[in-house]
Structure 1
Amino acid sequence: MKTKETVKQVIVDYIQEYDYAPSIREIADIAYCAQSTAHQYVRELLRSGELETSHPGMPRALRLPERRYRIDSRALKEVIVGLAGCDGEDDYARGWDDAFEAIMRAMDKMRI
């Protein structure tokens, strides 16, 4: 039987390599344990604060409390500009810098 520490290490290693969390199935496959065992240990790690999630029950929603996640600010800007329907040069984009800074501050608070 795998230990909680083994499951946590699988999650830590996976996040370090891919920059996102493994699914329960991937955790079980890598740790050579049943999915129910992996799920039980993930729940225990969440309860103890060793893992966090902002979306309980969703796949790949696990986070390490102490880890900072990479953000590609250029890609984020492209997405936001695209959603706003502007090209960054018209009247809609005048407040872009302020909005972008507010978004980055919010993401920093969420540890994204």
Structure 2
Amino acid sequence: MNDHTPQAPPSPDLWATIDTLWEWLDSHRPVEGREDALLRILKLSEEVGEVAQAVIGATGQNPRKGVTHTWDDVQSELCDVVITALVALRTLTPEAREVFARHLERVTRRSTARSAPADVPRPSL
């Protein structure tokens, strides 16, 4: 049987790439210490704003401007949010991979848990 389903290209190791970006940023930072970490966290707000701008542009919600973005632009901006968040987490702790994995596990467990009957208390996570 000949399968013509396109295969996704191999992805780079996410955390190795995040470490590389963090190292590059760390060697090019204009401020030191706590301010650097705070600014990297604030960068998330800027990136989220760019997602909003792209959605507004993709839907043409600004009648003065019309359609100015594509849904591919929205996807790219969402990726920038994820990258920025992971680099900010890496800035806060060298154990970012483990912190994220534990948190993702808790959220997944909480989100996919079956609903307990009303009379049975659910453990809080």
The TM-score, its normalising length taken from structure 1, stands at: 0.26
The TM-score, its normalising length taken from structure 2, stands at: 0.24
Higher relative contact order (CA 8 A, sep 6+): 2
Is the radius of gyration larger for structure 1 or structure 2?
2
Between Structure 1 and Structure 2, the one with more helix by share is: 2
